[in-house]
Each structure stands twice: as structure tokens, then as C-alpha cells.
Structure 1
Amino acid sequence: MDLTFQKPDFDKFTIRFPSHGVGVSEVKLKIQNYFGLPTNFQTLCFNGSILDDSMRVAFYGVTHKSTVMLMYRDVPSKNLRSSVTLYFTYGGHTGRRGDAGDRNVYVHESLMRKIADLKSIVKAKLGIQAYEFIKFMYKEEEMMDNRVLGDYPVTDNTYVKVSK
């Protein structure tokens, strides 16, 4: 389910959610993960109703491609983030970070960067052939090509394992 959010300055952005059964608190958490805007600073409104954190968005009639108003209290701009620095490691004998055989790179990227595009960048930096298939593993979960970096709860200096 794709939801579009409109901010008070009329700027809009869209976030994909796995199902219509998503809770309001989960939506706020995803906005926090994307932009660093704390959930307690956010107020979501749809068709004149303020969405309660304990409810599911479907309760308010929010469906695929709905536009939800995102109201928020001002927070210092240094807390808002739209990019992160990630630590990628590839190779080694044990598969643990810091192994003597590892090849490592830091990459600073936008949270809106598609994982497929990020793989191309990391391949080039690690010296992996463009045609070779690789996967990113973050906390035992494979990062899927069709998603964006912000779909994962990554923060600065997050460790991501690269494997074939």
C-alpha cells in the first residue's frame, strides 16, 4: 500500500507499506526512520480526523494511494535526516566484520536510494564485476532490490554484509 503524505509547506512524499492493516504508530515510525522526525512530534490527519496511534489506518478509510496530512511540531533541523553513512563489508573467511580478508567501504547515501542502485555503487567501490549477483544482508534480513534504503531502520555507521 502506497501512502502519500503532505506536509504543511505542501511538499509531498510517498512511502510504501506492506499491507492495509498497518497501524498508525507503525506509519509514524516509518516516517521517523525516513526523516528523523520523532513520532511524538507527528500528527497525522485524514479527511478531517486526527489518526490515533492505537488504531489501524484502515479504520479511518485510508487506502492505497490515499493522501494523509502530516502535521508536526518544529524540531531542530539537525535532527532531520535524509541520508546515512553505511559500512559495507565483503569477503573474508569467517564472515565477521573486521576479518583480515574483508574488503570494506563506507558509502554515504540518500534514504530514498533504491537498493538495486546502491548495489551498483557498492559493486564499483568493492571491485565486484557489474554482472555478478550480490545481496545485502542487514540484521539477518536480505535487503530487496525493489525497495529503498529508508525501508530499513538503518542509521549512520550501520553494518551491511555483502555476499554472493
Structure 2
Amino acid sequence: MEVKLVAMQGEEFTIEIGYFDTIFKIKEKIEKYRGIPVSAQTLIFNGNAMIDERNTEFYEILHRSRMKLIVDDKSKICSALLRKKAMLEFTLDDKRVCFDAFLTSSISHLKLRIHVLLRIQANQLGLFFMGNEMMDHQVLGDYAVSDFSEINVQIVKPFSSETNHRG
């Protein structure tokens, strides 16, 4: 089926995808035909960022659907870094999950992946590496993580404006 992608710069293009392709597979096709690294892409459908492990059926993407493509500014990093992955271990209390990620993956993207695995809202997660909190807008490479680095996950409550407006 054909889907139309709209880049933030206003550029539009169409790609052919399968009815059960994962979002990651779609990103691979975009990389193949448009040269945009998978790790620099975020796909948005119906106002929601899509998770790599989910598929078109999950998001109810149909023939001629439109998706937004956001390209991370850090995509100008050298291609060797773009291809480098690290196996990471995330721990939350007694729960432990492992997965690999590109060093150009944003911290907010990692939180979404953890959300899928542990069913904890991404905006409630704090990621800590070597005692320092990792910021959503930064990428793994900014923290010099390497294979089998351990990242601690903590549940943090998002700021609520209601707590500052007590009557």
C-alpha cells in the first residue's frame, strides 16, 4: 500500500509499505530511498509518535494514509556513529530489561521503548547513567555509553501546575 510522508520542511513523498510492516521496517525503507538514518527519524500518525516495534495494523494505517516525518537535527553526525549500536541494560527496582539502541537514539525515544516493555508512562520515567539524569533532548552518544552500560530507571512524577495554585 502507498503512504504519504510529510517532512517538517514541507517536503512530501510517497513510499510503498506492507500491510503488516513494523514502524522500524518503514524507517528502514525511508533510509534506503531518502538517505535519512533510521535513528534520526520519528514518525507521527494521528498526532502520536509511533513506536518501532509496533506495526501498521496496530496504528490502523491504511492505503494513502499520511504520516509526519520528523528528522532529528543530530542527523549530521558522522555516518560511523549513526551505525553504532550498544546493548543496554535498564533496571527499575527488581525489573531488568535489555535492548540495543543506536548511540544517536534520543533519551525520549528510549523512554518510549521502556514504556512499551514495562507499561509505565514515558513522562513518568527518569533515566540515570553514572548518577546523572539523562535529558530527553540528548542522545545516548552524549553520555559516552558503551555496550552493556547499565542505565537506572526511576519513576518521577511529572510537574503539575495544580500544586502551585492552592487557594
TM-score category (smaller protein) = 0.3 to 0.5
Which has the larger helix fraction? 2
Report 1 or 2 for greater relative contact order, CA contacts < 8 Å, sequence distance ≥ 6.
1
TM-score, normalized by length of structure 2? 0.44
